[in-house]
Structure 1
Amino acid sequence: MVTLTIDGRTVTVPEGTTILEAAQTLRITIPTLCYLKDINEIAACRICMVEVEGYARLVPSCDSAVAEGMVVYTSSPRVREARRVNLRLLLSQHETKCTKCTRSGNCKLQQLTNDYNLLGDHYIDDLKNIPTDYSNPVVRIENRCVKCMRCIQICDKVQTMGIWDLMGTGTHTTVGVARTRTLGESGCTFCGQCITHCPVGGLQEHDDTGKVFDALADTERITVVQMAPAVRSAWAEYYHLDPKFATAERMVTALKTMGFDYVFDTDFAADLTIMEEGSEFIDRFTHRNKHRWPMFTSCCPGWVRFLKGQFPSYTENLSTAKSPQQMFGAVAKSYFAQKLGVDPHKIFVVSIMPCTAKKAECALPTMRDACGDPDVDVVLTTREIVRMFRGESINPAVLPETPFDTPLGTGTGAAVVFGATGGVMDAALRSAYYLVTGKNPDADAFSAVRGMDGWKEATFTIPGAGDVHVAVVSGLGNTRRLMHAIDDGKVSYDFVEVMACPGGCAGGGGQPIHDGQELAAYRGDILWSIDKNTKVRFSHENADVQALYREFFRAPLGEKSHHLLHTDHTAWKMPNEK
């Protein structure tokens, strides 16, 4: 243990503790910009500088270990002036037209600039003449980048993709796509984790709000919107509403207020996905020698891109079932259009997703099965829909609750947990058990696949089918480890759920940004709580899904469902595929 003094207060901490961490134990706040605990502790921004008695120079608190008897000053005149100088240097290469930035006040640099009273013009602008590439779901804006390297570290250490890298030297140093490619030419999965860990607006999703406003204003269009499970656990964070108050039904009211004709629930399509994917798994499992193992879930487009780009020989192991988003779009422009008696080309389908990779998924050439148009026209992230609410002066705190429209607005507890890691597996096993035995299991019988561990595995016995060996992973770093273990023959599974983002969709790249905080576990707990308190907790008991099969699809894995609800993952290519 080491004893030191910080701002006149004595503290004793373990040897090896940084000055920043020691100060935090005293609830003394030292400002940071580039720091991310365990991910980015490289003292790049020099904002966390502190003064130590006996040291000739200031030291970065995030990267300097404590020493016995050390005396530290975190806000001396020398420290304050150094921070102001370092902030001025950052601002000299930063586009300060903050009115154009999607972060809209949720920006660490803007906060520091205000805190240190740098409200005038400081130094000559040294902006780069590099055009912004808007052709991908993830957009990088050069002159907003502060070279903190968080995006590089999160992509390398957590997601193991290595998409971003440092380019140039000295004042010409910047961040770019590794191996001098464009983002579209890289193997990027568009998971968006770089966006949610950027402290400023240097990275953002492709903004599609304008397309939606145009559709809402078009009287010839029938606007249909679906809400993903994980969105309901995060959409009202900007408004600081209690999760018990920030219900999906209040969001329905907000969407109706904006002018959407029909507001449906992706939970409906999640239940439909379970019927198709669960039936597919049982079919494969009972004809083992005809298939490669394990079978992988296919709900997460970031994961599908990862597999096709990094482990392409396993592409056929993916379930052929489309994601809930795409199943919904196909059903909306076929079954629902038929029920309305309208031309499906007039239906404009919008998805509200916690995910940036969904923007790439809806644009795939294989996702046009209902009428030739894209089954889903536009994907909005949770952040984008909140911006639209704000632009329309919609305050959820004063809204009443409105139920989802029918018949695509009914979901079960099993569907809600699609947004949490382990939820797809849990829901699939509940219905797979029923499809084999004709009886429901305990809805909580498969709880071993829940929780925030990055790689979970379990074995469950389904009478009449045998032991099912399953695994659940979230985060692409954990996924890579699992794939190597499968490749090397170290592990063997029957069914594997993969989510590209740590913690699943709850921690998706399109969710609200809270700098330095990881909220996937908190949001996931909300979803598991909703499931626990839902009357119907099995996908196969969704009455509207049952009606859909009676009236339209006839049965899971049938000819019509195969055409509309399944896809060929080999029919499109990643940039590295020949």
Structure 2
Amino acid sequence: PLKNYTIDMFSPSIIKDDSKCIRCQRCVRTCAELQGVNALTVAYKGDKMKISTFFEKPMNDVVCTNCGQCIIHCPTGALIERNYIEEVWSAISDPTKHVIIQTAPAVRVGLGEEMGMEPGERVTGKMVAALKRLGFDSVLDTDFTADLTIVEEGNELLSRLKKALVDNNKDVKFPMLTSCSPGWIKYIEHLYPEYLGHLSTCKSPQQMFGSLAKTYYAKARNLDPSKIISVSIMPCTAKKFEAHRPEMHDSGYRDVDYVLTTRELAIMIKQAGLDFKELEPAKYDRLMGDSSGAGVIFGATGGVMEAALRTAYELITGRDVPFENLNIMPVRGVEGVRYASIKIEDPLKEWAFLDGVELKCAVAHGLVNAKQVMDDIKNGKSDFHFIEIMACPGGCLGGGGQPIPTNPEIRQKRTEAIYAEDADLPIRKSHMNPEIQKLYNDFLKEPLGELSHQLLHTTYTKRERY
């Protein structure tokens, strides 16, 4: 180990502890070759050699996207997620606090691996049972707000198409880029800030959930929002940074108070002494716990695109997407960049201007592929309407907070589990989720409405390129 080591704890997502570093350079290669970010580099020579950043700045100040792929590949724990377990235990044990928890779709297909189960085993029911045993007051599902994100994002895409094709508004930006992956958001803020206007203004499902927890949920449960502690379990280290963003306080409170990774949840379950394999499966609590299959597939690359197309196509035509069992196969797969198009025929009267339009879409996962997509846009080679980008290889199920090891074979098994969960659910389209319909009827009133803009949409920030 280094003699004059430092511990970088400035980032809300990642801790870099040089005392544990064996200088194997796996993190440097991961950041450069897998993600194309180059936030980590080798500094000095001989026995003074160390893994560092540009001018030895803190990780929080450089182009690091907080994706956590370096953590997945670090063999010694020199790079590790920022741990919030103690804060969450403290909140649970405080009788004056109402602690609610949301679980991301990719967690349910990864958590079992930490408990000695095979990769790709779905443990949704056991996970919910464990969270209730741990003492959370309400166990809810991020898939619910994934459905909400699709309704908002689908309507935003249609709104942009209308402004461009009917109103001839030259300021409308195409292609529209998804905004669910916080690693991707920080990447574009650093490296392509001139294209921030192309991003969907929708918050991610995690942050939509957080803002509704302290408004809609608090009102329905007759709770003081200041007493609600909102916790999320994510497959992602960048979500910790996202929860800290100053833009994420639209409810008047911080939307999400603490973010734990899949690995951190596994630690809590073990600390509590629960025999995970023997737990009787339980169901999510109501109000913000119901989801469609479209919300579940958010965890896989191409899932956001598929969910959005299932909803947008039906809004335009009144019919299901023309794919067997709603499975839009062209956007699924493991290729770094994938392309799909759907021709709109015989639309509803309101959308007659889209008749004959070929809706062109692309999907990219891993930031090295995101660079390829963005360079195509920059060079005028992109004629797409809608592009989904996820920072991690495989999407969220290959996230930096998932169980280690995460390799292509394990990612494939997790992917199969996510699509199996989608196929098993009775509702497969986001806008058909009855809890989403109730949310609009009782609270938000309409997609892209005034309250939606206040609570569910956000802005982005240009960042320096160090």
TM-score bracket for the superposition, by shorter chain length:
over 0.9
2:255 counterpart of 1:360? no
Superposition map of 1:480-519 within 5 A: 480-514=371-405, 519=410
Superposition map of 1:84-95 within 5 A: 93=1
Distance in 1, Cα, partners of 2:17 & 2:101:
29
Which consecutive unaligned segments of at least 5 residues does structure 2 have? 348-353
Superposition map of 1:166-565 within 5 A: 166-242=42-118, 246-288=122-164, 289-290=168-169, 291-370=172-251, 372-441=252-321, 442=323, 443-463=325-345, 464=347, 465=354, 466-514=357-405, 519-565=410-456
Deviation at 1:135, TM superposition (A): 3.5
Deviations for 1:138-171, whole angstroms, at most 9, x for unmatched residues? 1111010111100000100111111111111111
Structure 1 pair 393–250 and aligned structure 2 pair: CA distance change class (3 A): same
Structure 1 pair 248–468 and aligned structure 2 pair: CA distance change class (3 A): same
Structure 1 pair 560–227 and aligned structure 2 pair: CA distance change class (3 A): same
Matched residue, 2:350: none
Name the SS of the counterpart of 1:224 in structure 2: strand
Name the SS of the counterpart of 1:453 in structure 2: coil
Deviation at 1:440, TM superposition (A): 2.5
Distance in 1, Cα, partners of 2:257 & 2:9:
21
Deviation at 1:434, TM superposition (A): 1.2
Amino acid at match of 1:453: E
Deviation at 1:521, TM superposition (A): 2.1
Deviations for 1:32-74, whole angstroms, at most 9, x for unmatched residues? xxxxxxxxxxxxxxxxxxxxxxxxxxxxxxxxxxxxxxxxxxx
State the 4+ residue runs in structure 1 displaced beyond 4 angstroms: 242-246, 515-518
Name the SS of the counterpart of 1:236 in structure 2: helix
Moved more, 202-211 or 525-534: 525-534
**TM-score, normalised relative to structure 1:** 0.76
Q: Is the 8 A contact 2:7 2:16 kept in 1?
A: no
Q: Is the 8 A contact 1:162 1:178 kept in 2?
A: no
User: How many pairs align?
Assistant: 450
More helix as a share of residues: 2
Deviation at 1:241, TM superposition (A): 2.4
Distance in 2, Cα, partners of 1:543 & 1:242:
34
Which one scores higher on RCO, CA 8 angstroms, separation ≥ 6? 2
Deviations for 1:335-361, whole angstroms, at most 9, x for unmatched residues? 110011111111100010000000010
Deviation at 1:437, TM superposition (A): 1.5
Distance in 1, Cα, partners of 2:407 & 2:197:
38
Q: Is the 8 A contact 1:298 1:304 kept in 2?
A: yes
Moved more, 529-538 or 380-389: 529-538
Matched residue, 1:145: 21
Q: Is the 8 A contact 1:233 1:523 kept in 2?
A: yes
Structure 1 pair 428–406 and aligned structure 2 pair: CA distance change class (3 A): same
Distance in 1, Cα, partners of 2:217 & 2:188:
33
**TM-score, normalised relative to structure 2:** 0.94
Deviation at 1:516, TM superposition (A): 6.2
Q: Is the 8 A contact 1:272 1:324 kept in 2?
A: yes
Amino acid at match of 2:259: V
Q: Is the 8 A contact 2:104 2:142 kept in 1?
A: yes
Deviation at 1:576, TM superposition (A): 4.2
Q: Is the 8 A contact 2:120 2:416 kept in 1?
A: no
Distance in 2, Cα, partners of 1:318 & 1:540:
22
Distance in 2, Cα, partners of 1:158 & 1:473:
13
Deviation at 1:573, TM superposition (A): 4.4
Q: Is the 8 A contact 2:100 2:228 kept in 1?
A: yes
Name the SS of the counterpart of 1:229 in structure 2: coil
Moved more, 461-470 or 248-257: 461-470
The percentage of aligned residue pairs carrying the same residue is: 41
**Residue of 459, 463, 466 corresponding to 1:574:** 463
Q: Is the 8 A contact 1:136 1:183 kept in 2?
A: no
Deviation at 1:134, TM superposition (A): 4.4
Deviation at 1:131, TM superposition (A): 3.8
Distance in 1, Cα, partners of 2:459 & 2:6:
38
Name the SS of the counterpart of 1:264 in structure 2: strand
Which consecutive unaligned segments of at least 5 residues does structure 1 have? 1-92, 94-125
Amino acid at match of 1:241: M
Q: Is the 8 A contact 1:507 1:518 kept in 2?
A: no
Deviation at 1:426, TM superposition (A): 0.1
Distance in 1, Cα, partners of 2:367 & 2:118:
31
Name the SS of the counterpart of 1:397 in structure 2: helix
Structure 1 pair 233–521 and aligned structure 2 pair: CA distance change class (3 A): same
Distance in 1, Cα, partners of 2:327 & 2:343:
11
Distance in 2, Cα, partners of 1:462 & 1:130:
57
Distance in 1, Cα, partners of 2:24 & 2:121:
37
Distance in 1, Cα, partners of 2:34 & 2:225:
42
Deviation at 1:552, TM superposition (A): 0.5
